[in-house]
Chains A and B, each alone.
Chain A
C-alpha cells in the first residue's frame, strides 16, 4: 500500500530537548515536504526536498532542520524545541513531475512542547 508514515504520532516533551520526527514514503517519490498546521493559519511549509541531498526552505523554517540522505526518508529535527513549535505536523511526498501529480500526506504528528 502506497503510504507516507510519520513517527511518532503524538509527543509531549519539554523545552530544549532535541527531538526528531521521522517521515518515510514507499512510493519512490523525489519530492518530500514538511508542513505545520496551526489554528487560523492553515498549513505552512517548513522545508521541502526535491531529491536526495537537495533541500530548501519553505515559509517557516526557523527552529527546524531537515536532511535527505535517502530517497525514502525525510526527518524533521528540532534541535532546541520551544513552546511556539507546539503544532500538528504533516509530511508529504510526490513525484517530481509537477503539481498535477498530487502530494500524498502522512496522518500527522501532534507535538506539544512544554
Chain B
C-alpha cells in the first residue's frame, strides 16, 4: 500500500521554464511534508518542507504547495536550471502520534527524475 505516490516517473523541461513535480498521499494523518533531491552516487539532500497548517512555503526558486482537501502537494522550481537535474522525492510524516503512526516514521514516494535541458 503506497501511501505517498509520485505518479510521474520523469519530467523534462527547458532551462528557464517552470518545473512542477507532483505528489499525492492517502493517509489523512500526515501533517508534515518534505521534498528531497538526489544526485547519482550521493545521498538525498533536503530541499524544502511544509507543515499542514500552511498551504505554501517558499525558499528562493523553490515553492511547495499543499492542498489538504485533495491530499496533494507540488514542488515548483522557477526558473529551472540544468543543475536541478536530479531525482526528486516527496516524503510525509504524521507527527501527532495518532492513527497508528508515530513521529519519526517517514514515508517517501517513488521519486521523479527531472531533466532540465540547456
Contacts and interface: CB of A to CB of B under 8 A. Distances in A.
Contacts of A42: 6, 89, 108-111
A35 interface: yes
29 contacts: A35-B108, A40-B110, A41-B110, A42-B89, A42-B108, A42-B109, A43-B89, A43-B108, A44-B108, A45-B105, A45-B106, A45-B107, A56-B104, A92-B43, A98-B95, A99-B34, A99-B93, A99-B95, A100-B49, A100-B51, A102-B34, A102-B49, A103-B46, A103-B106, A105-B44, A106-B43, A107-B41, A107-B42, A107-B43
Contact of B43 (A45, A50, A90, A100): A90
A33 B111 CA distance: 19
A4 interface: yes
A107 B109 CA distance: 19
A1 interface: no
A107 B41 CA distance: 7
Nearest to B4: A42
**Chain B contact patch, size range:** 20 to 34
Nearest to B43: A105
- Secondary structure at the A interface, as helix, strand, loop or mixed, is strand
Interface residues of A, number: 27
B81 to A, nearest CB: 21
A74 interface: no
Among A4, A31, A98, A107, which residue has the most Cβ atoms of chain B within 10 A?
A: A98
B106 A33 contact: yes
Given A42-B111, A90-B43, A106-B43, 11 more contacts: A33-B106, A40-B9, A43-B89, A45-B107, A45-B108, A48-B106, A50-B104, A58-B105, A59-B105, A103-B46, A105-B45
Nearest to A99: B32
Interface in A4-45: 4, 31, 33, 35, 40-45
B102 interface: yes
Contacts of B34: 99, 102
Contacts of B91: 43
